[in-house]
Copies of this chain bind each other. A is one copy, B any other.
Amino acid sequence: MSASTPIAADGPFVDPSIDSIHPCRACPVRSLSICAALEGEEMSRLADIVVVKNHAPHQTIFAEGDEATDLFNVTGGTVMLYKLLADGRRQITGFLFGGDFMGLSTGGTYAYSAEAITPVSICRFPRRRMEQVLDDYPKMQRRLFNMASNELASAQDQMLLLGRKTAKEKLASFLLTLSRRAVRRGQPDNPISVPMGRADIGDYLGLTTETVSRTVTQLKTASIIRLLDGHKIHIADRETLEDLAEGI
């Protein structure tokens, strides 16, 4: 599953020896990640410096304020990024899935903490060496810039959500975002997998556990969603959910 243990070639046209030189070639999320811009030599430059690591649930990957020595690419599982206030109040700034990138920093330290929600596998790139690769391959630099721009756009959506949406609108937006992101990873748009707990959802949406639970119940009672086994939610009435999310 991870890039450090290349999977056997799954088609006759792929030379297995290539995989041993470019373990990233077998990466299940390459097309989604920073690595999508790369071919041959560029990819091997990245493969040379990457370190693959697995993390168990609740494990901290890095903490806010740590020296920002690495950049990361999530290849599988779910990660959350969060910031804390002095008294323990927490704001989750993002959930990351396979293909997502993290570790951008300013001022030499991470601006947020990262923790595994499910078992997670992560490619870790030493920042120093990564910067050299970026200098040599402007295409990668461009790609990274585009990813940062996308993140910025969703951060702005999240500000609108946090500042101006009601609890019901927040939940609706959250579920639709999960669905759309699942599609980008090549998964079905319905039902959606919701691996994080009510408390995490609350800390992402600026709500309490209880309000998240009540609001999910409301959506369920209104037949807009159905709760399935295995942390899955079926979107029964997407149109209503979309209207809710847009504040209509």
Which A residues fall within an 8 A CB radius of B?
83, 85-87, 89-91, 93, 104-106, 111-112, 134-135, 138, 141-142, 144-146, 148-153, 155-160, 162-165, 203, 205-206, 246-248
Contacts and interface: CB of A to CB of B under 8 A. Distances in A.
Q: Copies of this chain, how many?
A: 2
Contact of A152 (B85, B142, B152, B246): B152
Contact of A93 (B134, B160, B203): B160
Chain A interface SS verdict (over half)? helix
Nearest to A204: B163
Contacts of A160: 83, 85, 91, 93
A153 B106 contact: yes
Contact of A150 (B93, B106, B135, B145): B106
A221 B220 CA distance: 47
B164 A85 contact: yes
Contact of A85 (B91, B151, B246): B246
Contacts of A87: 247-248
Contacts of A134: 142
A156 B93 contact: yes
A123 B138 CA distance: 26
A22 B162 CA distance: 44
